[in-house]
Structure 1
Amino acid sequence: MPIHDNDRHAVVLEIGRAYTKCGFVGENEPRVIIPSKLEGTKKREGIYLHEYSTKKELHSNLVKFLHHIFFKYLLVNHRERRIVIVESLLCPTEFREVLANVLYVHFEVPSVLFVPSHLVTLYTLGISTALVIDIGHEETTMIPVCEGTPLIHAWQAQPLGNKAIQERLESLLLLRAKVQGNGGQKIDLVDVMPKLSRAVLEDIVVRTCFVTTLPRARQLVAARTHEDGPSPPVPPPTILYPLSGNNNLTLDGSVREESAEVLFETDNEMVSLASMVLDAILASPIDFRVPLAENLVIIGGGCMLPGLKFRLLAEIKDLQQHPKYSSRIALKALKVHRPPAKSNYTAWLGGAILGATEAIATRSYAREVYMQTNRVPDWNNLADNTKEVDSRAG
Structure 2
Amino acid sequence: MENRIQWRGKAKGSSSLLTDPKSRKVIIVEHPLLPLHVKDAIARILFNNLQVPSISFASSHLLSLLAAGRTTGLVLDCGHLESAALPIFSSRPLYPHLRTTPLAGARLSSHLRALLLFFGTYLPPPTSLSAAANIPASTRATRVPEEVLTDAVIEEIKTRCCFVGDVLDTNEVQVQSPPGDDSVELDVPPSDSGMSESEFSHVSADMESNMSSAQPASSGYSVVSHSQARSSLDGPQPGESHLQAISKMYERHSTATDLKMKVEPPVAQQVGTGRGTLVIPGWIRERSAEVLFEGGDVDESSVAEVILDSLLKAPVDLRKTLASSILVVGGTPMLPGFISRLHTELLRAISPPTSQHSSRPPSRPGRPRPTQYDKYACLRQLVPYFAILNNPSPPPLQPNPPRGSLNAGKAPAFTPAAMAWVGGSLAGALKIGGVEVPRERWDEAEAEPEAEDPSAMQVDPTTPPRPSNILPDWTRSPLPYGAPPANLAQGQHQPTVVVSAVGA
Give the structure-1-normalised TM-score.
0.74
Match of 1:352 among 404, 425, 431: 425
Match of 2:215 in 1: none
Which piece of structure 1 moves more, 278-287 or 76-85?
Answer: 76-85
Match of 2:283 in 1: 254
Going from structure 1 to structure 2, the CA distance change for 1:68 and 1:209 (only over 3 Å counts) comes to farther
Match of 1:378 in 2: 472
Contact 1:377 1:384 in 2 (8 A): no
Superposition pairs of residues 29-40 of structure 1, within 5 angstroms: none
Match of 1:142 in 2: 85
Q: Does 1:168 align with 2:111?
A: yes
**Distance between the aligned counterparts of 1:299 and 1:100, measured in 2?**
26
**Distance between the aligned counterparts of 1:316 and 1:382, measured in 2?**
33
> Gaps (5+ residues) in structure 2?
127-131, 180-233, 237-247, 265-273, 353-373, 391-410, 446-466, 490-504
Match of 2:440 in 1: 368
Q: Please list the CA deviations of residues 125-158 of structure 1 after superposition, one character each: whole Å capped at 9, or x if unmatched.
A: 3222100011111110100011221111211101
Going from structure 1 to structure 2, the CA distance change for 1:224 and 1:301 (only over 3 Å counts) comes to farther
Going from structure 1 to structure 2, the CA distance change for 1:188 and 1:69 (only over 3 Å counts) comes to farther
Match of 1:110 among 32, 35, 53: 53
Going from structure 1 to structure 2, the CA distance change for 1:166 and 1:107 (only over 3 Å counts) comes to same
Contact 1:84 1:114 in 2 (8 A): yes
Match of 2:142 among 187, 192, 196: 187
**Distance between the aligned counterparts of 1:385 and 1:272, measured in 2?**
28
Match of 1:213 among 154, 163, 166: 166
Going from structure 1 to structure 2, the CA distance change for 1:240 and 1:87 (only over 3 Å counts) comes to same
Q: Please list the CA deviations of residues 320-370 of structure 1 after superposition, one character each: whole Å capped at 9, or x if unmatched.
A: 11322124541122111134321111011111111112336x953111111
Match of 1:304 in 2: 334
Higher strand share: 1
The number of equivalent residue pairs is 326
Contact 2:121 2:279 in 1 (8 A): yes
**Distance between the aligned counterparts of 1:63 and 1:326, measured in 2?**
58
Query: How far 1:75 sits from its partner (Å)?
Result: 2.0
Amino acid at match of 1:97: D
Match of 1:273 in 2: 303
Amino acid at match of 2:318: F
Q: Please list the CA deviations of residues 196-239 of structure 1 after superposition, one character each: whole Å capped at 9, or x if unmatched.
A: 322221111001111111126x4773346578659722432111
Match of 1:325 in 2: 376
Match of 1:288 among 312, 318, 328: 318
**Distance between the aligned counterparts of 1:64 and 1:224, measured in 2?**
65
Greater C-alpha radius of gyration: 2
**Distance between the aligned counterparts of 1:153 and 1:337, measured in 2?**
23
Contact 1:174 1:194 in 2 (8 A): no
- Report the secondary structure of 1:89's partner residue: coil
Query: How far 1:308 sits from its partner (Å)?
Result: 0.7
Amino acid at match of 1:265: E
**Distance between the aligned counterparts of 2:107 and 2:385, measured in 1?**
30
Which piece of structure 1 moves more, 223-232 or 206-215?
Answer: 223-232
**Distance between the aligned counterparts of 2:52 and 2:147, measured in 1?**
46
- Report the secondary structure of 1:201's partner residue: helix
Q: Please list the CA deviations of residues 78-101 of structure 1 after superposition, one character each: whole Å capped at 9, or x if unmatched.
A: 222211111111112222111111
Contact 1:282 1:329 in 2 (8 A): no
Give the structure-2-normalised TM-score.
0.59
Which piece of structure 1 moves more, 282-291 or 76-85?
Answer: 76-85
Q: Could you list the structure 1 runs, at least 4 aligned residues long, displaced by more than 6 angstroms after superposition.
A: 62-69, 383-390
> Gaps (5+ residues) in structure 1?
1-61
- Report the secondary structure of 1:355's partner residue: helix
- Report the secondary structure of 1:179's partner residue: strand
Match of 1:222 in 2: 174
**Distance between the aligned counterparts of 1:248 and 1:66, measured in 2?**
45
Contact 1:379 1:385 in 2 (8 A): no
**Distance between the aligned counterparts of 2:46 and 2:344, measured in 1?**
44
Identity %: 28
Going from structure 1 to structure 2, the CA distance change for 1:96 and 1:283 (only over 3 Å counts) comes to same
Q: Please list the CA deviations of residues 146-175 of structure 1 after superposition, one character each: whole Å capped at 9, or x if unmatched.
A: 122111121110111111110001111112
Match of 1:132 in 2: 75
CA RMSD across the alignment: 3.1
